Structure 1
Amino acid sequence: METRDKLFTEEQYVKQLAKYTDRIERFNSIIEQSERNRKEPVNPDFYGRLFDCKVNYIVTMYSMGEKLECIKSNYISTINVLEKCWTPYGYYVQMLWLLSIGIMLEYDDNVIHKLRVLIDREEVKDRVYDVLLNYRFPERKEMADCVFDDVPYRAILEVSDLAKTNKTQTTKRLEKYLKREWYRGHSDCAWHDDHKYGIIHDGYWSFESGALVKVLGLDDSNLKGLPYYPYDMVHWNDTK
């Protein structure tokens, strides 16, 4: 198996997945016991911690080099947990990852619709969400003139505007985003620079960049091989 994110070895990723599996089983057990008990509602924090582990598991699988087909079952079970705990304030980025992955891997509308319901329920004003959701649900027609999280996602306003008139310039703007803005713009995230410590590293991926290429119909040949760009996820169905 060839790793996609080279900052960790396959062995390190395997050990990490084992730890996530243990945590997922532990939180599932706690939640199941609470649900059986029924004396008190399940603490939402347990759903949130379970969700974190499950998202991190998916990203780690991708970084390690697992086949894309292996991600789907984990993806669907992760969305089922997300429905129990999501708010844009706590999980904006994770929602964006899941939405982008679902679009790139062309999961069924009924799966992606669950994400749409959560986003629309919270009335989130966000251009990135809107561009991606409207691609799958053209009748939706929402299009915010802002992004929920300005750094680094404000660049997507330019990307989506340029796509209306100049696809070549759109790709160049996305290239700049990947090279200069995406990673630096997440410097306040707990996972930023975690590869330097050799303890835990899920992988660094701008999944929304891949989803935008698919949605906007861009030529991403110049993006292939760039750090953070999930090229094979964008093109997984090209030869099928």
Structure 2
Amino acid sequence: MLREKSLDRDNLDKYIAFKDTTIARDKLEIDSPDALPATGKVIGAAMLFSSIMEYLVARYSRGDDLTIIQDYLPDLLEQREKLLYYSDALPEEKQENRLMYERLSDGAYIEYSRWLTMAVCLGVGDAHIKRALELIDNAGVDALLDRVAIALGDSERAVATDLLYPKPYAPLYEALDAPTDQQGKLIKKFLDGYANTVRKWGISIIREKEWKNHPGDWCFEAALVVKLFNIDDSTFRDHPLYPAALIHGDPI
């Protein structure tokens, strides 16, 4: 059953098939001892992590069984481990190059949120989540991420006092401690404002109408907060950006 209703299944099939091919090719190239210089391996590992994430989002959009998507999550962890490995292998004079892949940029923030959402909602296990948090790092940088990490068991984590990206994340963050009857309204407000902010960031996770080759439009962060903080999603469950199947499964 197609979950992303604004996309054509045939286009998603082609997108996923293309990703299958390019991911396999890129893995071979990055792992080949002489194919890329040290900086190229870091760049390639970061791009491959993003590519696998887009692939999993596309499979979710197409309606693939959630257990199949779960099976690919260790691959995502492996690629993030390789990014660390190749970053550590950079010569000393190029170590600063790694910072752009380790800081919590807006694009990384979304990718890490998607990773944690899938890991939590699909039940990959505590060891995977613990390692993911270690690799994501950035403790004390963003209040929302810190609260999520604490809810996932990182009890000694430093907690930021502010949001790194108050637009669009302020309503989602406020929902964590809001009265029960206000939580749904705040998350709906977050969902309603998400697309415009992401477009302003120049990130193509929200497609333009004419785009055909795209994994699908979703705001996974909302599902992560709903799952971790036991929030009633009945008032926004049908929002087009909300990945409800991760919480409730597909309708029968």
TM-score (norm 1): 0.86
Root-mean-square deviation (CA), in Å? Answer: 2.3
Which sections of structure 2, spanning at least 5 residues, go unmatched? 84-100
User: 1:12 — aligned with what?
Assistant: 11
Q: CA deviation at 1:117?
A: 0.6
1:201 partnered with 2:214: yes
User: 1:233 — aligned with what?
Assistant: 246
Between 110-119 and 10-19, the greater mean CA deviation after superposition: 110-119
Q: CA deviation at 1:147?
A: 2.0
In 2 relative to 1, CA 171–30 (structure 1 residues): closer, same or farther, beyond 3 Å? same
Choose from 186, 208, 227 the match for 2:198.
186
User: 1:133 — aligned with what?
Assistant: 149
1:24 partnered with 2:13: no
User: 2:82 — aligned with what?
Assistant: 84
Which sections of structure 1, spanning at least 5 residues, go unmatched? none
User: 1:33 — aligned with what?
Assistant: 32
User: 2:60 — aligned with what?
Assistant: 62
In 2 relative to 1, CA 161–26 (structure 1 residues): closer, same or farther, beyond 3 Å? same
- SS of the residue 1:31 aligns to: helix
Between 148-157 and 64-73, the greater mean CA deviation after superposition: 148-157
Letter in 2 for 1:170: Q
User: 1:96 — aligned with what?
Assistant: 113
Q: CA deviation at 1:40?
A: 5.3
In 2 relative to 1, CA 45–39 (structure 1 residues): closer, same or farther, beyond 3 Å? closer
Alpha-carbon distance between aligned partners in 2 of 1:47 and 1:61, rounded to the nearest angstrom: 21
In 2 relative to 1, CA 216–94 (structure 1 residues): closer, same or farther, beyond 3 Å? same
1:180-217 deviation digits (Å, cap 9, x = unpaired)? x1111111233155342233111111111011111111
Alpha-carbon distance between aligned partners in 1 of 2:36 and 2:151, rounded to the nearest angstrom: 43
1:146 partnered with 2:144: no
Alpha-carbon distance between aligned partners in 1 of 2:25 and 2:149, rounded to the nearest angstrom: 33
Q: CA deviation at 1:142?
A: 3.9
Letter in 2 for 1:206: C
In 2 relative to 1, CA 60–124 (structure 1 residues): closer, same or farther, beyond 3 Å? farther
Letter in 2 for 1:130: D
Q: CA deviation at 1:143?
A: 3.2
Between 131-140 and 99-108, the greater mean CA deviation after superposition: 131-140
Structure 1 stretches (4+) deviating beyond 6 angstroms? none
